[in-house]
């Protein structure tokens, strides 16, 4: 008998969305039920309408047998810090794939990712760990995305693109085929990337221009 349960990490706006997607996945038989959520002191707790138990702060959490943490945070730096703290306590992580997402059989997906409704991973995509892929976003053939990256809704990463670790893409951003987006880069909402983006750079507008 499978006794695994999800422990949601985070309770902000995106966290509440992830709870909804996890419930959909559980109803479809592709995810375990939710046991409760973790949240540090000083942050607002999950709305009572969700009916979930607060399991305490991250540094007080002791994983139960079968617990699988579900990282419900979009901020790139916060995700990394949370993962480090939880792994130090022996936590394991669940990759959530919404039932309406379209995943090619040759796509490779790492640990702790969240793939939201109607997202698409095309042929031979390589996804690192703890990546957030929000609704209606797509990753084209043979593209590679580094760990901890967040892609907001309606992002279009076309074919043969390489994205470094901890990059961030605002809603509606688009990257043309064959380009590189470096580690820690930020691509603003609606930007169209027509040339490779260096590590740590911030680009915005269409065509994308470097801000810093």
pLDDT tens, residue order, the chain (212 aa):
356 999 999 988 999 999 999 999 999 999 999 999 998 877 778 877 788 999 999 999 999 999 999 999 999 999 999 999 999 999 999 999 999 999 999 999 999 999 999 999 999 999 999 999 999 999 999 999 999 999 999 999 999 999 999 999 999 999 999 999 999 999 999 999 999 999 999 999 877 677 66
Q: Tell me if residue 141 is catalytic.
A: yes
Question: What order do you get walking across the sheet with 162-163 strand by strand?
Answer: 108-109, 126-127, 144-145, 162-163, 180-181
User: Domain map of the chain by residue range?
Assistant: 5-94, 95-202
Task: Say what the pLDDT of residue 157 is.
Answer: 98
CATH classification code of 95-202: 2.160.10.10
Task: Say what the pLDDT of residue 1 is.
Answer: 39
User: Is the separation of the CB atoms in 109 and 130 below 8 Å?
Assistant: no
φ, ψ at 173 (rounded to 5°): -65, 155
Q: Name which of 18, 24, 20, 60 is nearest 39 in CA terms.
A: 60
Say yes or no: do domains 5-94 and 95-202 share a fold: no
β-partners of residue 168 are 150, 186
- How many Cα atoms are found within 13 Å in the side-chain-facing hemisphere of 162? 7
Q: Measured between alpha carbons, how far is 212 from 204 in angstroms, rounded to an integer?
A: 10
Task: Say what the pLDDT of residue 175 is.
Answer: 98
Catalytic entry in 24, 98, 141, 154: 141
User: Is the separation of the CB atoms in 183 and 199 below 8 Å?
Assistant: yes
Q: Measured between alpha carbons, how far is 117 from 42 in angstroms, rounded to an integer?
A: 30
**182 alpha-carbon distance from chain centroid:** 18
CATH class in words for 5-94: alpha beta
Cβ count near 79 (within 10 Å): 26
Burial track 135-164 (b if 16+ CB lie within 10 A, e otherwise): bbbbbbbbbbbbbbbbbbbbbbbbbebbbb
């Amino acid at each position: 008998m499978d006794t695994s349960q999800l422990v949601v990490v985070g309770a902000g706006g995106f966290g509440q969305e992830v709870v909804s997607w996890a419930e959909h996945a559980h109803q479809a038989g592709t995810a375990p039920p939710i046991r409760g959520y973790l949240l540090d002191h000083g942050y607002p707790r999950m709305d009572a309408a969700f009916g979930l138990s607060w399991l305490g702060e991250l540094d007080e959490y002791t994983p139960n047998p079968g617990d699988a943490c579900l990282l419900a945070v979009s901020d790139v730096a916060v995700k990394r810090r949370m993962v480090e703290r939880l792994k130090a306590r022996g936590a394991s992580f669940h990759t959530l794939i919404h039932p309406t997402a379209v995943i090619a059989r040759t796509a490779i997906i790492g640990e702790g990712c969240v793939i939201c409704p109607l997202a698409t991973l095309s042929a031979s995509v390589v996804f690192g760990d703890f990546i957030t892929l929000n609704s209606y976003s797509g990753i084209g053939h043979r593209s590679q995305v580094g760990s901890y990256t967040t892609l907001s809704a309606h992002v279009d990463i076309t074919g043969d693109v390489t994205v470094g670790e901890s990059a961030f893409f605002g809603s509606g951003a688009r990257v043309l085929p064959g380009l590189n987006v470096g580690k820690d880069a930020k691509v603003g909402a609606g930007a169209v990337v027509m040339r490779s983006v260096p590590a740590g750079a911030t680009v915005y507008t269409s065509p994308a221009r470097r801000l810093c």
